[in-house]
């Protein structure tokens, strides 16, 4: 994802014990744990559900605790034989010691209660007196007396190993194997080996919140798993907060560190890096939060963000445990998106990982930490929780036509936007009937597995995996050519199924105007064309949505589309050169409609020289609408369009615009 570019282009990308003596008598088995045994004729899609039931009985662990811990570890996915970045395997994410967990970016400070943070949850002591990880795969294998290799590949053995470790931790705490889930709080807190008090407490709170609410999911392996709700179970009152650097801007329940990105001159020619001073939101409103993945390991990215000749971003989120490190104050402008216009209005968050290996890197703890951070930032700065304001690096509009091929593709088609917005507390769902003029892309992530190539080499087919993306065709047929993006491939090359090719894709949560329907197929307006995708009623890939659309004003055959909302010429102060208007190589023609979720004020800031003070922001009178134009966002002038409200059955009437578009 990252590359070094000339530092004079700041808008561009410079861019997570039980021993042998643990034998309880059947007479001591708590009533709650008397669960039906799985039968030999169990349904193939119920094997994991039955594994939780059987392991809970065998090791006297409440099934609700075992299942909820597993969900927080892996969302019940097994990925048999494939370890996470932390070396974790199976639905319990049992860690192989040879790989271990990624270290914290800095030494953990003493916790408020006097304990060392590193001693809270990450370490317990076996009878031999040596430190061990509670989720140690080898130790789990010894406890259940099977080869360690079996826990890597067999989900049932993996669940048994996790149950044995939970029971071991409970006994070492001097607590009985109770049927009351609340009695297992400390054992749960210890399970993931979290190295600080804040993360451990937050993890346990998440586990018990899930027990209270319940959950159902079809796993990546096709297993149907249900955790019944237990409304009487409550989380622990409030997380304990570890000390943190004063510069950090994070919610209290997150473990956050500070690792500064440099703002300094590089040479005598005035080159500098790697971000710009600003005074947001006083000089420029923060409208967006941009989700990235690093396409590198986090230690390498820490080196990058400390290099003044390289890129910068505001936060990094570690894959193994969701630990957050801040690099740039949110009031300042980081160089992360590939667009100076978006940089000036956004906060950039990097997630450790590779878009071609989501099962290894996109962990549940990373999703949850990131969502907590985004929820905190969105509330602080008034950023709407929708997909035109919370979007990926792959959705950032190219500022100019010639920059389109250089824009990036992360976090890619395997980022689970539906789950992410659930965690944000803003679930993506239908807001209108199935015949609405507007649709929201919303495939079922677990079962929607389109073909991709390029994960392990050019042209090679990727392993099937749940996806947030839906592919678009030129006609309502599977064998019809894919939609082409003339901006991305100006030489006329066809779109492909490559995992990094965005030319014919839309993404979960994006909303589009319906252009046509034919049987199981729906057409949307996409970059000036009708684009078709399969949308069967039994397994829909899109749902009805409400909202507003823009369409060219009557009498205009077509209008320009922009990658940024620049002020009019008169807005620039004397002596400042006007930023050239540069429409994108697309058109919005009469009769076409595109969804908008906000009006946008025009602005420009010439942050291209080193200064002790923020450069002034030029604010214009020209107003724009942000639209979902293709896979990426775009802007149209408010004076060029009419607003149209979506309706469930017929075309909406244009809305009279009394004045400039508001935010």
Residue in the structure block whose two tokens are 């079809």: 218
- For β-strands 256-258 and 324-326, DSSP reports them as parallel
Q: How confident is the model at residue 25 (pLDDT cuts 50, 70, 90)?
A: very low
15: confidence class by pLDDT, cuts 50, 70, 90: very low
Mean pLDDT across 8-18: 37
pLDDT of residue 130: 32
- The percentage of the chain sitting over the pLDDT mark of 90, rounded to a whole number, equals 75
Higher pLDDT, residue 446 or 515: 515
Confidence label for 268 from pLDDT (cuts 50, 70 and 90): confident
Tell me the whole-structure pTM to 2 decimals. Answer: 0.87
Q: Other C-beta atoms within 10 Å of 590: how many?
A: 13
- Return d(Cα 295, Cα 359) in angstroms, integer: 14
**Does the pLDDT value for residue 75 go beyond 90?**
yes
Domain ranges for the chain: 26-227, 244-413, 549-655
Q: What is the pLDDT of residue 328?
A: 98
Q: How far apart are the first and last CA of the chain?
A: 32
Does the pLDDT at position 651 exceed 90? no
Q: Of 131-145, 336-350, 451-465, which range is least confident?
A: 131-145
* Res. 128 pLDDT band, cuts 50 70 90: very low
Per-residue pLDDT for 452 more than 60? Answer: yes
Question: What's the mean pLDDT in 37-59?
Answer: 83
- Residue ranges of the alpha helices (H) in 311-465? 340-344, 358-361, 364-381, 417-423
What would the CATH number be for the domain defined by 244-413?
A: 3.40.80.10
Which pLDDT value is given to residue 601?
Answer: 96
Tokens coding 531: 């684009």
pLDDT of residue 254: 93
Q: With pLDDT > 70 as the criterion, what percentage of the chain qualifies? A: 85
CATH topology of domain 26-227: Lysozyme (1.10.530)
Mean pLDDT of 88-114: 58
How far apart CA 250 and CA 243 sit, in angstroms, is: 12
Contact 339, 14 (CB under 8 A): no
- In 3D space, the residue among 135, 154, 153 whose CA is nearest the CA of residue 47 turns out to be 154
Cα torsion angle, 74, 76, 77, 81, sign: positive
Report the run of H or E that residue 57 belongs to, with start and end: helix 47-59
pLDDT of the residue at 133: 57
| Average pLDDT score, the chain | 86
Task: Write out pLDDT tens, residues 462-503.
Answer: 999 999 999 999 999 999 999 999 998 888 889 999 999 999
| 3-class state of residue 339 by DSSP | coil
The answer to whether 524 and 505 have CB atoms below 8 angstroms apart is no
Residue 30 has pLDDT above 70, yes or no: no
Q: Write down the pLDDT at residue 118.
A: 30
Concatenated DSSP letters of 67-86:
HHHHHHHHTT---TT---TT
Encode pLDDT of 543-555 as tens digits: 999 999 999 999 9
pLDDT band of residue 212 (cuts 50, 70, 90) is: very high
- Find the mean pLDDT for residues 529-558: 96
Is residue 282 a contact partner of residue 326, using CB atoms and an 8 Å limit? no
pLDDT at 119 over 90: no
Q: Summarize the confidence of residues 263-267 as an average pLDDT.
A: 95
Angstrom CA distances, 255 to 71, 75, 202, 234, 470, stand at 21, 21, 9, 22, 35
Please report the pLDDT score of residue 148 as a whole number.
96
Q: Residue 26 has what pLDDT?
A: 31
Q: Report DSSP letters for 590-645, one per residue.
A: TT--EEEEEEEEEEEE---S--SSPPPEEEEEEEEEEEE-SSSEEEEEGGGEEEEE
Decide if pLDDT at 24 tops 50: no
Tokens of 588: 């919005």
**pLDDT for 580 beyond 70:** yes
Asked which of 9-13, 47-51, 340-344, 349-353 is least confident by mean pLDDT, the reply is: 9-13
């Amino acid at each position: 994802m990252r590359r070094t570019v000339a530092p004079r282009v700041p808008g561009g990308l410079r861019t997570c014990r039980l021993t042998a003596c643990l034998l309880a008598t059947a007479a001591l088995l708590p009533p709650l744990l008397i669960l039906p045994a799985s039968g030999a004729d169990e349904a193939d899609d119920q094997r994991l559900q039955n594994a939780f039931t059987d392991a809970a009985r065998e090791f006297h662990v409440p099934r609700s605790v075992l299942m909820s811990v597993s969900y927080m570890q892996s969302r019940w996915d097994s990925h048999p034989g494939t370890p996470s970045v932390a070396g974790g395997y199976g639905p319990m994410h049992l860690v192989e010691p040879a790989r271990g967990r990624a270290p914290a970016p800095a030494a953990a400070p003493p916790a408020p209660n006097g304990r060392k943070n590193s001693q809270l949850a990450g370490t317990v002591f076996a009878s031999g007196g040596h430190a061990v990880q509670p989720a140690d795969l080898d130790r789990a294998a010894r406890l259940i007396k099977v080869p360690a290799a079996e826990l890597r590949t067999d989900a049932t053995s993996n669940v048994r190993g996790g149950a044995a470790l939970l029971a071991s931790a409970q006994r070492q705490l001097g607590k009985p194997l109770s049927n009351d889930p609340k009695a297992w709080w400390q054992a749960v807190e210890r399970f993931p080996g979290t190295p600080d008090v804040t993360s451990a407490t937050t993890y346990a709170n998440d586990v018990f919140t899930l027990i209270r609410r319940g959950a159902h999911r079809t796993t990546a392996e096709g297993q149907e798993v249900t955790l019944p709700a237990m409304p009487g179970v409550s989380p622990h009152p409030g997380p304990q907060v570890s000390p943190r650097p004063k510069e950090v801007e994070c919610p209290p329940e997150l473990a956050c560190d500070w690792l500064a990105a440099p703002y300094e001159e590089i040479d005598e020619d005035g080159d500098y890096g790697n971000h710009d001073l600003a005074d947001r939101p006083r000089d420029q409103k923060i409208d967006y939060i941009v989700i990235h993945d690093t396409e590198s390991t986090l230690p390498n990215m820490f080196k990058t963000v400390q290099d003044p000749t390289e890129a910068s971003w505001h936060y990094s989120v570690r894959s193994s445990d969701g630990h957050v490190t801040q690099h740039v104050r949110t009031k300042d402008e980081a160089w992360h998106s590939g667009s100076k216009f978006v940089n000036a209005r956004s906060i950039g968050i990097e997630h450790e990982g590779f878009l071609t290996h989501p099962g290894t890197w996109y962990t549940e703890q990373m999703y949850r930490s990131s969502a907590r951070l985004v929820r905190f930032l969105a509330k602080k700065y008034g950023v709407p929780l929708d997909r035109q304001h919370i979007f990926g690096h792959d959705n950032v509009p190219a500022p100019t036509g010639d920059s389109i091929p250089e824009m990036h593709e992360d976090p890619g088609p395997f980022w689970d936007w539906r789950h992410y917005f659930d965690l944000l507390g803003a679930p993506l769902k239908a807001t209108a009937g199935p015949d609405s003029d507007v649709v929201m892309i919303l495939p079922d992530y677990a079962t929607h597995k389109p073909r991709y190539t390029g994960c392990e080499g050019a042209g090679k087919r990727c392993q099937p995996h749940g996806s947030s993306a839906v592919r678009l065709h030129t006609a309502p047929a599977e064998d019809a050519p894919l939609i082409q993006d003339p901006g991305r491939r100006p030489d006329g090359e066809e779109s492909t199924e490559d995992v990094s090719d965005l030319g014919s894709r839309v993404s979960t949560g994006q909303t589009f105007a319906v252009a046509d329907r034919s049987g199981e197929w729906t057409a949307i307006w996409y970059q000036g064309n009708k684009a078709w995708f399969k949308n069967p009623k039994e397994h829909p890939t899109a749902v009805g949505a409400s909202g507003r659309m823009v369409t060219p004003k009557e009498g205009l055959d077509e209008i320009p589309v922009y990658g940024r909302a620049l002020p009019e010429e008169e807005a620039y102060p004397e002596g400042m050169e006007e930023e050239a208007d540069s429409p994108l190589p697309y058109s919005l023609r009469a009769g076409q409609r595109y969804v908008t979720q906000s009006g946008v004020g025009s602005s420009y800031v010439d942050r291209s020289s080193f200064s002790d003070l923020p450069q002034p922001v030029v604010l214009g009178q020209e107003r724009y609408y942000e639209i979902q134009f293709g896979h990426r966002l775009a802007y149209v002038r408010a004076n060029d369009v009419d607003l149209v409200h979506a309706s469930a059955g017929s075309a909406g009437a244009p809305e009279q615009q009394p004045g400039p578009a508001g935010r």
